[in-house]
Amino acid sequence: MKRMVTTLAVVMMLVLTAACSAQAENPEPEPSSEKPVVESNAADTKLVDTVTKFEANAEDAWADALTPGLDYLTLVNRNHPYEFSGPYDRNLHERGNMVTFADAVDGDLIQLEKGAFAAFTLLKVYLDNYCDMQIGIYDAYRDYDTQLGYYTNSLRMFYGDLKDDPSYDSARDWQSRNPLAEPGYSETHTGLLFNVVIKHPRSVEDLESESADTPDWEWYTETPERTATIERFKILHENLADFGFIDRFPAGKEEWTGVPNEPYQIRFVGSSKIAHEIMDNGLSLEEYLGETEKFDLNYEPSAETLEKYLP
**Span 153-168, pLDDT tens digits:** 888 888 888 788 888 7
Predicted confidence (pLDDT) at residue 191 exceeds the cutoff of 80: yes
Of the candidate ranges 99-108, 166-175, 212-221, the one whose mean pLDDT is the lowest: 212-221
What is the Cα–Cα distance from 81 to 185, expressed in whole angstroms? 4
Instruction: Name the more confident of 120 and 41.
Output: 120
Could you give all domains of the chain from N- to C-terminal order, each with its CATH number? 62-309 (3.30.1380.10)
| pLDDT per position as a tens digit, 265-287 | 999 999 999 999 999 999 999 99
Examine the pLDDT at 290 and tell me if it is beyond 90: yes
Amino acid at 51: V
User: How far is C-alpha 70 from the chain's CA centre?
Assistant: 19
Residue 20: CA count within 13 A, CB half-sphere: 18
pTM: 0.77
Residue 233: CA atoms inside 13 Å, Cβ hemisphere, count?
23
Give percent above pLDDT 90 in the chain. 41
Residue 93 has what DSSP assignment? G
Q: Are 173 and 166 in contact (CB under 8 A)?
A: no
DSSP-based three-state secondary structure for 105: coil
- How many Å apart are CA 139 and CA 189, to the nearest integer? 12
- Residue 306: pLDDT above 90? no
Average pLDDT, the chain: 76
Angle between helix 2-14 and helix 114-130 axes, rounded to 10 deg: 30
C-alpha–C-alpha distance, residues 39 and 47, integer Å: 7
pLDDT at residue 25 greater than cutoff 70: no
3-state secondary structure of 238: helix
Structural contact between residues 135 and 196, judged by C-beta atoms closer than 8 angstroms: yes
> What span, in angstroms and rounded, lies between the C-alpha atoms of 244 and 310?
39
Question: Which residues have a Cβ under 8 Å from the Cβ of 267 and sit 6 or more positions away?
Answer: 187, 192, 193, 245, 246, 248, 285
DSSP code, position 258: S
